[in-house]
Chain A
Amino acid sequence: EAQVTQNPRYLITVTGKKLTVTCSQNMNHEYMSWYRQDPGLGLRQIYYSMNVEVTDKGDVPEGYKVSRKEKRNFPLILESPSPNQTSLYFCASSLAIGLGDTQYFGPGTRLTVL
């Protein structure tokens, strides 16, 4: 089954404790992206990747890191989480973004930083 998976689905942590949210897709998509969803703000793009070893900032990259060492994986790293990073996070992938390709979303990761 074609899908985007994220782990963990739920995470409660404390300020400053490094964490990684994994994202994996099995559709051989070139483009992958991370979003955060906050009430009243919709989804905002954090980082995206056009292909292996190619990543770039979205609109809200502060406090986040990403890497794309393999085509299928695109982990989101919070080196020193803070309470304002409490949010619902979505990973998405698409064949390519420049041609209007559909993005496929993972189920989301709900992160709480205390």
Chain B
Amino acid sequence: AQSVTQLDSQVPVFEEAPVELRCNYSSSVSVYLFWYVQYPNQGLQLLLKYLSGSTLVKGINGFEAEFNKSQTSFHLRKPSVHISDTAEYFCAVSEGSNKFYFGSGTKLNVKP
């Protein structure tokens, strides 16, 4: 079975600073990769996804992620965060099968 690791459970950062949220997955087969964001008391919404092609994927709200097949990673980045980016971020993987695997989540806390 696939496993998804988000090593950082919490990431504090000051407003306008850059941030990177790390995600590693276990499978070496072809995968689809996703980042979802969950704002307080809400459901999840898609930030971006990688299906194929360019390894740099751009998403909503200025976020981007880079797929690295050799390191089985899909780290999320933003060059300058805003207070409104405070949320929990989930990395997820699908092997193209029927199952979907989520990481444990990273809480991003943007401080003024």
Residues of A within 8 A of B (CB): 4, 31, 33, 35, 40-45, 48, 50, 56, 58-59, 90, 92, 97-100, 102-103, 105-108
Contacts and interface: CB of A to CB of B under 8 A. Distances in A.
Given A98-B96, A107-B42, A44 B102 contact: yes
A17 to B, nearest CB: 26
B29 interface: no
B98 A98 contact: yes
B100 A103 contact: yes
B90 interface: yes
Nearest to A91: B43
A100 B98 contact: no
A100 B104 contact: no
Given A43-B92, A45-B100, A90-B43, 8 more contacts: A42-B90, A42-B105, A43-B44, A43-B102, A50-B98, A97-B94, A99-B51, A100-B96
A35 B44 CA distance: 11
Given A40-B9, A100-B51, A105 B44 contact: yes
